Amino acid sequence: MGLIAYIKSLFILQLLVGFVFVVSGLIINFIQLCTCVLWPINRQLYRKINTRLSYSLWSQLVMLLEWWSGTECTIFADQATVDKFGKEHVIIILNHNYEIDFLCGWTMCERYGVLGASKVLAKYELLKVPLIGWTWYFLEIVFCKRKWEEDRDTVFKGLTQLKDYPEFMWFLLYCEGTRFTPKKHEISMEVAESKGLPKLKYHLLPRTKGFTTTLSCLKGTVSAVYDVTLNFRDKKVPTLLGIVSGKKYMADMNIKRYPVEEIPEDEKECATWLHKLYQQKDALQEHYENEGSFPGPTIKPPRRLWTLLNFLFWATLLLTPLLNFACGVFVSGSPLLIVGFLIFCIIASIAVRRLISVSEVNKTGSTYGKMEGKKEN
Q: DSSP letter string over 85-128?
A: TTSS-EEEEE---STTHHHHHHHHHHHTT-STT-EEEEEGGGGG
Fold topology of 14-305: Glycerol-3-phosphate (1)-acyltransferase (3.40.1130)
Q: Could you tell me which of 260, 270, 55, 64 has the C-alpha nearest to residue 167?
A: 55
Amino acid at 206: P
Q: Quick check: 189 and 360 in contact, CB under 8 A?
A: no
Burial class (CB in 10 A: 0-12, 13-18, 19+), 106: buried
* CA 195 – CA 268 distance, rounded (Å): 14
Query: In this predicted structure, what is the pLDDT of residue 376?
Result: 44
Query: In this predicted structure, what is the pLDDT of residue 337?
Result: 81
303 conformational bin, left if phi > 0, alpha if psi -120 to 50, beta if neither = beta
pLDDT tens for the chain, 377 residues: list them. 577 877 888 888 888 898 899 999 999 999 999 999 999 999 999 999 999 999 999 999 999 999 999 999 999 999 999 999 999 999 999 999 999 999 999 999 999 999 999 999 888 888 888 889 999 999 999 998 877 788 888 899 999 999 999 999 999 999 998 889 999 999 999 999 999 999 999 999 999 999 999 999 999 999 999 999 999 999 899 998 899 889 999 999 999 999 999 999 999 999 999 999 999 999 999 999 999 999 999 999 999 999 999 999 999 999 999 888 888 877 787 888 888 877 877 777 777 666 666 555 555 545 555 545 444 44
Query: In this predicted structure, what is the pLDDT of residue 363?
Result: 52
Give the H or E element holding residue 170. Answer: strand 170-173
Q: What is the CA radius of gyration of the chain?
A: 22
Query: In this predicted structure, what is the pLDDT of residue 361?
Result: 53
Sheet hosting strand 224-232, strand order edge to edge: 142-144, 119-123, 170-173, 90-94, 224-232, 250-259, 72-76, 298-299
Query: In this predicted structure, what is the pLDDT of residue 377?
Result: 46
Helices (H), the chain: 3-9, 11-34, 43-63, 79-82, 101-111, 132-138, 148-161, 182-195, 208-217, 240-244, 267-291, 306-332, 335-357
